[in-house]
A and B are shown apart, each in its own frame.
Chain A
Amino acid sequence: MKKRITIDPITRLEGHGKIEIFLDDRGNVAKAYFQVPELRGFEKFSEGRMAEEMPRITPKICGVCPTAHHMASTKAVDDLFKVTPPRTARLIRELVYNAFMFEDHALHFYFLGGPDFVVGPDAPKAERNILGVIAKVGVETGGKVIDIRKRVRNIITTLGGRVIHPVLGLPGGVSRGLTKENREEFTKTAKDAVEFARFSLDLFGNVVLKNKGYVDAITGDVYKHRTYYMGLVDSKNKVNFYDGDIRVVDPNGKEFAKFPVRDYLKHISEHVEPWSYTKFPYLTAVGWKGFVDGEKSGIYRVAPLARLNASDGLSTPKAQAEHDRLYDTLGGKPAHNTLAYHWARLVELLHAAERMVELVKDPDIMGTELRTLPTQKPSEGIGVVEAPRGTLIHHFKSDERGIITQANLIVATVNNAPAICMSVERAAKGLIRNGNVSDGLLNRVEMAFRAYDPCFACATHALPGRMPLEVEIKGPDGTVLRRLSQFVD
């Protein structure tokens, strides 16, 4: 039966996060697409601005990851002005950055991953939200989330001004240092953050890993892709969110490439599809073979599980132990199970907390040398960080006065776009049969992309807090058989 669900016109969001599923004559999935919106005109918007302004402008691109944009821009202007920050400044930046990774990962697990795993993928949709999570894990846990998030965000606001408009990063350093009182407070916060992360991993162990159905979903083939993986690593090939070389491993876990961010254009190319504005990045040396996985396809993945896969582990002991537990459970490294992104996110949550403890403990963080003043003519700068959603690159060129002449961003979700398309199609094909499309099935299709925590929030807020996502199911002739969005109850 052909049924079309229409949406109240005021909530229609054309061109935003959209899944399109095409069915064949027998009602089976022929093709499925996932589209992310394109923001236009960043280049033009940036031209003529002072380069040092970029770290204060780019955080406004996205309310979800302002600190990631702030830090990527800050590092790009370091490079543009040819300055290396003093050790104290670097430590402060890294502290703020890990604080950000922590609060973002915590939010994702409890509010976004939690509904799928803690409440359950087949629970009634009215319960698949944070309210359902709290109903299951208790109000006390909700209180813990609120408290730790508030205190960790306080590290960012203390050092960066406001979270959304941070003014911490300057070319060659930071705008302020830590007081003794800050350090005492942050030490306590960081230690409590470690406890909170452990609590969250225990919760995951008890609620998810002890439930056979969830474990089967995580380890099953529907959400599995053998792809390349990318992430920043330090000199020992350990995960580092703030700095390092970009390392790529192949589907067998063997190092495929390792390069400084300035060489990114040599390693990454972009494929264009007629149906999407999104450009699909792939590894140049492997080539574009379509939306397929395997060693011969240049599709790579980024973000939590990819970062763990692309590294030789984590530099902090507790997170390393959790890293080992994850790979033992999943049958070795690399792990290709998309739904294990949620688990990897919690391992990173713990790592971020442990790093905060280390950083705040480092005597040099109390140093007074906060900036290296630029003395050379500015020209071109590239900065990279690991955003919660993957590798994020800012690339600026300027004239000799430091006025921006060219700007380019490669945002984290875009790196994952080819894999997200592939995951959505795989899930749709595995779950939709003979025209049988239930809400539960659609949620399982959505779970495929939700694991990546894709971010289109930088596009529009629409009604407060509503994610612009739409699912369209089309027949062979292109007619819309069914259209669903999160706004339809």
Chain B
Amino acid sequence: MDMKTLVLGVGSSILTDDAVGIAVARALEKRVGPRTGVEYAVNEEGGFTLLEDAVGFDRLVVVDAVIGSEPGRLLRLDLAGLGPTVHCGGPHGLNLATVLEFGRRQGLPVPTEVVVYAVEVKDTTTFGERLSPEVEARVPEIAAAIEAELFGP
């Protein structure tokens, strides 16, 4: 049996580039098409709800926005690179690694393999339902790159 994979687009869909994770997850779903064992979801809440979404999957693939110097650049991170949250100030201060570790210690079936794709973006503080042009232009190639990594030969 194939392992169960969740592709999770994370971000706010009305804060310009913050939606890039959602856009990439959707583009990926369109490219890949129906595939046994692969599901797609959007998470606009973050924090603890990331755990709730991830429970029951073997592999978690998160696509999110990250402020960076080159809009549209794709970074691939693993959970170890995220590290535990050492301080936290709001419910979003719950790090993905921390909530998954919490789930594991609670005995929940959390994914054993976690990949985080972070797309560098420019603007996440202006209300808008479209990505910045330079970020939007990169979405197809980002989706293609992720497809090759996840489902490539």
Interface residues, chain A, CB within 8 Å of chain B? 9-15, 17, 37-42, 44-45, 57, 60-64, 66, 104, 107-108, 111-112, 115, 125-126, 128-131, 134, 139, 142-143, 146, 149-150, 163-164, 443, 446, 449-450, 453-467, 469, 486-487, 489
Contacts and interface: CB of A to CB of B under 8 A. Distances in A.
A9 B44 contact: no
B36 interface: no
* Most interface-central of A57, A62, A463 (chain B CB within 10 A): A463
B128 interface: yes
Contacts of B49: 63, 163
A378 to B, nearest CB: 22
A465 B94 contact: yes
A63 B86 contact: no
B107 interface: yes
A460 B118 CA distance: 13
A403 B103 CA distance: 45
Given A131-B102, A134-B106, A465-B85, 17 more contacts: A44-B127, A45-B128, A63-B12, A64-B45, A111-B47, A456-B90, A457-B47, A460-B125, A461-B11, A461-B12, A461-B21, A461-B64, A461-B124, A464-B82, A465-B50, A465-B92, A486-B87
Contact of A464 (B96, B101, B120, B126): B96
B5 interface: no
A125 B87 contact: yes
Contact of A39 (B15, B99, B106): B15
B64 A128 contact: no
B88 A460 contact: no
A13 B18 CA distance: 13
Given A63-B46, A139-B106, A469 B127 contact: no
B107 A111 contact: no
B67 A467 contact: no
A128 B90 contact: no
B135 interface: no
Contacts of B90: 64, 112, 453-457, 467
B87 A467 contact: yes
Q: Is the interface of B mostly helix, strand, loop or mixed?
A: mixed
A38 B94 CA distance: 22
Interface string B96-111: 1011011001111000
Contacts of A462: 64-67
* Most interface-central of A126, A131, A150, A449 (chain B CB within 10 A): A131
Contact of B128 (A17, A41, A143): A41
A9 B48 contact: no
* Most interface-central of A10, A44, A455 (chain B CB within 10 A): A10
A112 B88 CA distance: 6
Nearest to A63: B45
* Most interface-central of B64, B87, B101, B118 (chain A CB within 10 A): B87
A486 B102 contact: no
A121 to B, nearest CB: 12
Given A446-B87, A464-B50, A465-B85, A142 B67 contact: no
B127 A467 contact: no
Contacts of B125: 15, 37-40, 459-460
